[in-house]
Structure 1
């Protein structure tokens, strides 16, 4: 009889523990994925263009500290925190490259022909960018510091500028990513202005905020 009671108590305890175990499993954080290149863009056709405008957006380089799938967020005392469950949809360098390509194409009504031949006789502008700082502070700011250059292929001098854009952001990682998207859009606008100056045959004075 005693053995029966003990076995019954053991089964009852296991039954009571099962929901707790299931609850623990269901509370595991879900990975969240973010992109810098989503959303609709408004295309602004080039005014009175004599020929279509084509450009090559070269792959962007980024600091080693942020070459990770996870968001890297500034902490206290110079620490960087890795947000395991908040990740970029693709490699961050690719996200930035694609975001710039789409932004420049939209600003200029142009076509990115990287790794594709441009039509014979068309003007082609080569663009490069080196992101020197990509800083994230949840509930604080999103910052992009980049050195970029524009050059007309087959002639023309290289224009090199540095742009730093910082966006204040509210709490949450969605707001942080939105801040980076806004900063990236401003960088794309600055580079677009550089391309316009090359098209016009002039030299644009480098400005931090276009």
Structure 2
């Protein structure tokens, strides 16, 4: 009887019982994902190219949809769907530059890749700047697509004009799980690093 009177009183205040029930629901559980540091695939023999030291920009340009902690997938012709309750431990704006430098260092060899700003005494001959254009799974979560471009500038006197490189990487997802989606992000970044090293001067 008391509960009925309480609900009646709340209804008089404009608060409906169904709204109270909705508010009483537990919050959505949060699942955390990370882009792990170890390379996700076989590591080829180091390819130093011309042996020049690289300075990699400390930031990577990302589209606005990726500048958030929640994982996102494509939806329909032009929509995006945030995956509620599924979040990155480390924002992509921080994880991508860190991993890119680490992957490039593995692929080129020790001491040849540095993240800006370089410490005193290190004199890089080339500077690398990277932009991620697309990093998104399709609506059916079957494929993750990464589109990127980069500029490798020769910082030495009378150096060559900046070289523009581009990559369009498609990663098949193992399944429709969010875990597979997160793992595909890591593999795509590794393949991007491979493409950058392969395109460098020799």
* TM surpasses 0.5: yes
Look up the match of 2:197.
Answer: 192
* 8 Å CA contact retained: 2:55, 2:124: no
Could you say what the CA RMSD is over the residues aligned between the two structures, in angstroms?
A: 2.8
Gaps of 5+ in 2: 3-24
Higher normalized contact order (CA 8 Å, seq sep 6+, divided by chain length): 2
Structure richer in helix, relative to its length:
1
- Residue 64 of structure 1 and its aligned partner are, at CA, apart by 1.3
Cα distance in 2 between the residues matched to 1:163 and 1:77: 23
Gaps of 5+ in 1: 1-5, 8-23, 201-210
Look up the match of 1:131.
Answer: 132
- Count of aligned residue pairs for this structure pair: 171
Specify whether residues 180 and 76 from structure 1 end up closer, same or farther in structure 2 by C-alpha distance, changes over 3 A only. same
2:151 counterpart (138, 143, 149): 149
Which whole-Å deviations, capped at 9, do the CAs of 1:39-75 have from their partners, x for residues lacking one? 25858445698x6x53221111011122111111112
Look up the match of 1:114.
Answer: 116
Specify whether residues 45 and 74 from structure 1 end up closer, same or farther in structure 2 by C-alpha distance, changes over 3 A only. closer
Specify whether residues 48 and 126 from structure 1 end up closer, same or farther in structure 2 by C-alpha distance, changes over 3 A only. closer
* Residues 1-210 of structure 1 aligned to structure 2 (within 5 Å): 25=26, 28-39=27-38, 42=43, 44-46=45-47, 53-58=52-57, 59-109=59-109, 110-117=112-119, 119=121, 122-137=123-138, 139-154=141-156, 155-169=159-173, 170-195=175-200, 197=201, 200=202
Which whole-Å deviations, capped at 9, do the CAs of 1:130-169 have from their partners, x for residues lacking one? 1111212363111110111112222232110211101110
**Residues 38-47 or 100-109, more deviating:** 38-47
Cα distance in 1 between the residues matched to 2:90 and 2:38: 16
TM-score relative to the length of structure 2: 0.72
